[in-house]
Chains A and B, each alone.
Chain A
């Protein structure tokens, strides 16, 4: 039914709604003023205001009432969406500051409109990252690392795509979002179609150095280079993605007249960077220039080459999801391959017997460089470990007995307000996922052929009559009974607390856990949360966040807030320990969910690469044999081609971007357990 067909609410009806929303609120006069304002609105608007009255009343009666008083003025100038943003901003303001500040904010409609209009036209990285990362993964076949550029430029170092935080180059937000997509796709195309490799047969670095670095910081040359490459790449993309190229063409408008002579040669399907450079050099001999083309992004050869070289120095090892804060597990002085784990001294110590310091044993606070310094001074004493586990050595084809020493280390409580902030941020989503889970929970099961029950089981009755006629003994199980669906499920969440998670990944993990807990409380599923990290096989650590017998209370919430990135990722021992804890649960179905941000890695070279992958795989296999099903969630923006091998017996999902993790986790959980 069309809402305009419904009549407006009269003041008497509104008064009832206000009193229900704000029971016992003393400001009768203010309430009357609000009602008389709201009475004049259309029914759709009235419903909108009443909806937000209820929502705001949860937070503050005073603010809710004030909002309804301001609502008629606000709705004169804002549509429904703008109104919601206005109210939500007011509520946020109250949470962050206080009620008077929030009221001042709501009162200043002019200021809000100014910023809202700007926000209407601007697109931000946060708006587009989900969609763009999915889009690029689909066309490229791999999860790409897409980041915000600190200097608000769009460029690529061939490992990651960097985009500005905001785009307002075009008049409306929708176009700016398309512009983001165009930019990101062209940046990917730069890496795909050899912008950084002039001659595919030549040795990459040498040629590129000569080819691109000679333009140095010549801004005109780089501007022209970016535009000419955009011409060439557009033609490359046109073969498979003609629709996208049409969209890009519309965004950029016609090419600048100065570029027209270059179009025929660069639009050939077999054009390479060499063709671009030929045209560019010809242009540079004249005084041709163009304005920078926004969609073409920027090409900064010096910066890119620096990163490519840095990549080579680390021996081709892909940089693991090191989050936005640069986390370097090795202090810089060892970058040149002289780190203890890589240098000569380390070779003299038997593999895996990484000497370490007693002070590291149980102390959660330590500095990386202390360790390296002390590591040079022979082995020291460790306290007796809480547990010892074997580890699979794939080269020997045998277990190393009691190899990993596991310590249970308490998690220090974090910011007590953190959980509430996250709940507030995701409130709409929590509500949605709870509703979905409610449906699972509400799914009752019909048991047929019961001795007693609510209704006759017709099939059973017919059978019993037949048995009787045939001279058999009729069954007395003739009823159907409805029972609560017993899930009998125990779930262990194993959370990566290695150093590489510091920053966004850690935050995404914590947010995911909060969303999961909020949802799981509803289902009564038995679950536990443990973090894991460590430093060498002599000091593997496990951090209980929530044990199976613990309630999800303020204490647990504070511990979730306290989850932080620590050291390395020795995964096998954590899987073994946690699957043992899980096995002790009585539930019929046992599920181990791991959340990590890359492949297993530990101090020194030993656990890295195949050894760690094989050990983790083995541990998951052992768990599988004991009836534990595993699901591994990886936040990895690299190619992640090792995952099928690593997770062999388990199922897994790659979440290409930490942003997506919280929402995705709840969905994965729902999918896995229904």
Chain B
């Protein structure tokens, strides 16, 4: 094989500690998985803290983090890399997954079910005892260093029957169940992240819980912790709580006029 140029992107490390409020033993479990070189699957509803958890763990373990949001046009090349022509030369550019493997980073594939099935398969050899990435294009086999870690996430809630995670994929991962934290913990998170008083945060969490009661009864999902934090952040800038919740919660959860009106009723009832 002729000698070719090769570009691998520089990966950033996270310097400042991302705020994360542990709910259970997830931090110790993740550290154990990292030590054992096991890939991790995070399950949970949208906006409950999966991504933040991974960021926090990357910071804690001192490893770079590569995040890929999966979508149905994501090809193998988008993950592994591709040749580009630069001037008169063909240059291989590592994709995010290859870069992460070489650098011993944490590679986080967010919403893995959205990716095409043929794309998901390339992670298989990385997610079992082999721990290698095959780059067919130039016949390279990259062995993952011990620091490399694969993390995927998906939301088992409401989704199309046409999209499901294959058993052959999921059975390679140890799985963590994420859910919205308990009311007390969630209020702490909303207060800390949103920069508002804990008393106000408790009201937001109350509202959040009420909307979660509607899951499966007109709403696909209730307000996530993230949405509540958004509302809190709006309030912290001086927006009135009701207006903040209308924008961040009621309108963001539904387009159905009946449902939006009911959500607005809830907002008005809580404040």
Contact check, A591 vs B161: say whether CB atoms are below 8 A apart.
yes
Q: Output the least CB separation between A431 and chain B (Å).
A: 16
Taken residue by residue from 210 to 239, chain B's Cβ proximity to chain A (1 for < 8 Å, 0 otherwise) reads as: 110110111010000000000000000000
Which residues of B from 151 to 193 have beta carbons under 8 Å from A? Answer: 158, 160-162
Q: A608 vs B227: C-alpha distance in the bound complex, in angstroms?
A: 42
Q: Which residues of B contact A309 (CB under 8 A)?
A: none
Given contacts A134-B218, A139-B269, A589-B161, contact A465 B213 (CB under 8 A): no
Contact check, B213 vs A673: say whether CB atoms are below 8 A apart.
no
Q: Which residues of B contact A137 (CB under 8 A)?
A: 213-214, 217
Q: A500 vs B215: C-alpha distance in the bound complex, in angstroms?
A: 25
Q: A469 vs B2: C-alpha distance in the bound complex, in angstroms?
A: 11
Contact check, A139 vs B210: say whether CB atoms are below 8 A apart.
yes
Q: Which residues of B contact A651 (CB under 8 A)?
A: 158
Residue B266 is within 8 A (CB to CB) of chain A in the complex = yes
Residue B258 is within 8 A (CB to CB) of chain A in the complex = yes
A470 CB contact (under 8 Å) in B90, B242, B269, B271: B90
Given contacts A134-B214, A242-B271, A656-B217, contact A673 B161 (CB under 8 A): yes
Q: A489 vs B161: C-alpha distance in the bound complex, in angstroms?
A: 10
Residue A241 is within 8 A (CB to CB) of chain B in the complex = yes
Q: Which residues of B contact A462 (CB under 8 A)?
A: 83-85
Contact check, A138 vs B271: say whether CB atoms are below 8 A apart.
no
Residue B36 is within 8 A (CB to CB) of chain A in the complex = no
Residue B117 is within 8 A (CB to CB) of chain A in the complex = no
A243 CB contact (under 8 Å) in B2, B4, B269: B269
Residue B206 is within 8 A (CB to CB) of chain A in the complex = yes
Q: At the interface, is chain A mostly helix, strand, loop or mixed?
A: helix
7 residue pairs of the A-B complex, CB under 8 angstroms, read A135-B269, A137-B217, A138-B210, A463-B83, A465-B85, A591-B161, A673-B161
Q: Which residues of B contact A140 (CB under 8 A)?
A: 213
Q: Which residues of A contact B213 (CB under 8 A)?
A: 137-142
Contact check, A134 vs B160: say whether CB atoms are below 8 A apart.
no
Taken residue by residue from 35 to 51, chain B's Cβ proximity to chain A (1 for < 8 Å, 0 otherwise) reads as: 00000000000000000
Residue A609 is within 8 A (CB to CB) of chain B in the complex = no
Q: A430 vs B24: C-alpha distance in the bound complex, in angstroms?
A: 48
Given contacts A135-B262, A143-B217, A244-B269, contact A463 B82 (CB under 8 A): yes
Contact check, A247 vs B268: say whether CB atoms are below 8 A apart.
yes
Q: Output the least CB separation between B6 and chain A (Å).
A: 14
Q: A664 vs B217: C-alpha distance in the bound complex, in angstroms?
A: 9
B271 CB contact (under 8 Å) in A131, A243, A671: A243
Given contacts A131-B258, A134-B258, contact A241 B270 (CB under 8 A): yes
Q: Given A143-B217, A671-B158, list of 11 further CB < 8 A pairs?
A: A131-B258, A132-B262, A135-B269, A137-B217, A142-B213, A241-B269, A247-B269, A463-B82, A463-B83, A466-B90, A671-B220
Q: A60 vs B195: C-alpha distance in the bound complex, in angstroms?
A: 63
Q: Output the least CB separation between B191 and chain A (Å).
A: 18
Q: A459 vs B262: C-alpha distance in the bound complex, in angstroms?
A: 49
A134 CB contact (under 8 Å) in B4, B83, B262: B262
Q: A462 vs B4: C-alpha distance in the bound complex, in angstroms?
A: 16
Residue of B nearest to A670 (CB): B160
Residue B243 is within 8 A (CB to CB) of chain A in the complex = no
Residue of B nearest to A462 (CB): B85
Contact check, A466 vs B161: say whether CB atoms are below 8 A apart.
no
Q: Which residues of B contact A143 (CB under 8 A)?
A: 217
Q: Which residues of B contact A471 (CB under 8 A)?
A: 2
- The total number of A-B Cβ pairs within 8 Å is 95
Q: Which residues of A contact B161 (CB under 8 A)?
A: 589, 591, 629, 631, 672-673
Which residues of B from 1 to 42 have beta carbons under 8 Å from A? Answer: 2, 4
Taken residue by residue from 464 to 483, chain A's Cβ proximity to chain B (1 for < 8 Å, 0 otherwise) reads as: 01100111000000000000
Chain A residues engaging chain B, CB cutoff 8 angstroms: 130-132, 134-135, 137-143, 181, 240-244, 247, 459, 462-463, 465-466, 469-471, 489, 589, 591, 629, 631, 651-656, 660, 664, 667, 671-674
B214 CB contact (under 8 Å) in A138, A242, A469, A629: A138
Which residues of B from 247 to 266 have beta carbons under 8 Å from A? Answer: 256, 258-259, 261-262, 265-266
Q: At the interface, is chain B mostly helix, strand, loop or mixed?
A: mixed
Q: Which residues of A contact B162 (CB under 8 A)?
A: 489, 589, 673-674
Number of interface residues of B (CB under 8 A): 34
Q: A276 vs B161: C-alpha distance in the bound complex, in angstroms?
A: 54
Q: Output the least CB separation between B85 and chain A (Å).
A: 6
Q: Which residues of B contact A243 (CB under 8 A)?
A: 242, 267-271
Q: Which residues of B contact A134 (CB under 8 A)?
A: 214, 217-218, 258-259, 262
7 nearest CB pairs, A to B: A244-B269, A134-B262, A138-B210, A629-B161, A241-B269, A466-B83, A130-B258
Q: Output the least CB separation between B214 and chain A (Å).
A: 5
Q: Which residues of A contact B256 (CB under 8 A)?
A: 667
Q: Output the least CB separation between B199 and chain A (Å).
A: 12
Q: Which residues of B contact A652 (CB under 8 A)?
A: 216
Contact check, B84 vs A655: say whether CB atoms are below 8 A apart.
no
Q: Output the least CB separation between A144 and chain B (Å).
A: 11
Q: A667 vs B217: C-alpha distance in the bound complex, in angstroms?
A: 12
Q: A366 vs B85: C-alpha distance in the bound complex, in angstroms?
A: 80
Contact check, A653 vs B85: say whether CB atoms are below 8 A apart.
no
Q: Output the least CB separation between A69 and chain B (Å).
A: 34
Contact check, A672 vs B85: say whether CB atoms are below 8 A apart.
no
Most buried by A among B206, B211, B242, B262: B262
Contact check, B90 vs A131: say whether CB atoms are below 8 A apart.
no
Most buried by A among B82, B162, B211: B162
Given contacts A469-B90, A673-B162, contact A654 B216 (CB under 8 A): yes
Q: A462 vs B259: C-alpha distance in the bound complex, in angstroms?
A: 50
Q: A631 vs B162: C-alpha distance in the bound complex, in angstroms?
A: 13
B160 CB contact (under 8 Å) in A240, A244, A664, A671: A671
Q: Output the least CB separation between A526 and chain B (Å).
A: 15
Q: Which residues of B contact A655 (CB under 8 A)?
A: 217
Contact check, B266 vs A135: say whether CB atoms are below 8 A apart.
yes
Q: A173 vs B256: C-alpha distance in the bound complex, in angstroms?
A: 21
Q: Which residues of A contact B206 (CB under 8 A)?
A: 240
Q: Which residues of B contact A589 (CB under 8 A)?
A: 161-162
Q: A465 vs B85: C-alpha distance in the bound complex, in angstroms?
A: 9
Contact check, A138 vs B84: say whether CB atoms are below 8 A apart.
no
Q: A651 vs B221: C-alpha distance in the bound complex, in angstroms?
A: 13
Contact check, A131 vs B265: say whether CB atoms are below 8 A apart.
yes
Q: Which residues of A contact B271 (CB under 8 A)?
A: 242-243
Q: A470 vs B4: C-alpha distance in the bound complex, in angstroms?
A: 10
Q: Which residues of A contact B2 (CB under 8 A)?
A: 470-471
Residue of B nearest to A590 (CB): B161
Q: Output the least CB separation between B265 and chain A (Å).
A: 5
Given contacts A466-B85, A631-B161, A672-B161, contact A653 B268 (CB under 8 A): no
Contact check, A244 vs B268: say whether CB atoms are below 8 A apart.
yes
Q: A131 vs B4: C-alpha distance in the bound complex, in angstroms?
A: 65
Contact check, B218 vs A135: say whether CB atoms are below 8 A apart.
no
Residue of A nearest to B256 (CB): A667
Contact check, A138 vs B158: say whether CB atoms are below 8 A apart.
no
Q: Which residues of A contact B262 (CB under 8 A)?
A: 130-132, 134-135, 138
Contact check, B266 vs A138: say whether CB atoms are below 8 A apart.
yes
Given contacts A138-B266, A242-B271, A243-B268, contact A672 B218 (CB under 8 A): no
Q: Which residues of B contact A654 (CB under 8 A)?
A: 216-217
Contact check, B265 vs A135: say whether CB atoms are below 8 A apart.
yes
Q: Which residues of A contact B82 (CB under 8 A)?
A: 459, 463
Given contacts A466-B83, A589-B162, contact A653 B90 (CB under 8 A): no
Q: A669 vs B259: C-alpha distance in the bound complex, in angstroms?
A: 18
